[in-house]
Copies of this chain bind each other. A is one copy, B any other.
Amino acid sequence: MLVVVAYDVNTETPQGRRRLRQVAKTCKKYGQRVQNSVFECSVTPSDFLTLKHDLHKLADLESDSLRFYNLGANYSNRIEHMGVQRHLPDDSVMMV
């Protein structure tokens, strides 16, 4: 299944930038970065639990926000993109 991880952190501080780098590194084990603070991770349900556990340890839960969107297994028609892009999860993402 594909899980979108959106991470909100104040990157004006070195600590915030460090956390963002750590979150990105963790998410990249499972997928790729599609925006500055958005990652698309291809995971099993077990991977997803591990990912959340790892991110829970990295994040500053008093100041950061992590939001997970589970797009399920058949996700290609759920994603559309406009403008520049860093990556695509596969060839079937619709351009609008």
CB of A22 within 8 Å of the partner chain: no
Whether A69 contacts B35 by the Cβ 8 Å rule is no
Q: Which residues of B contact A36 (CB under 8 A)?
A: 8, 37
Q: Which residues of B contact A82 (CB under 8 A)?
A: 52, 55-56, 59, 61, 65-68
Report the interface size for chain A: residues with CB under 8 A from the other chain: 37
Cα-based distance from A84 to B8 in the complex (angstroms): 9
Whether B84 contacts A61 by the Cβ 8 Å rule is yes
Q: Which residues of B contact A67 (CB under 8 A)?
A: 34-35, 38, 79-82, 85
Which A residues form the contact surface with B (CB < 8 A)? Answer: 4, 6-8, 34-38, 52, 55-56, 59-72, 77-86, 96
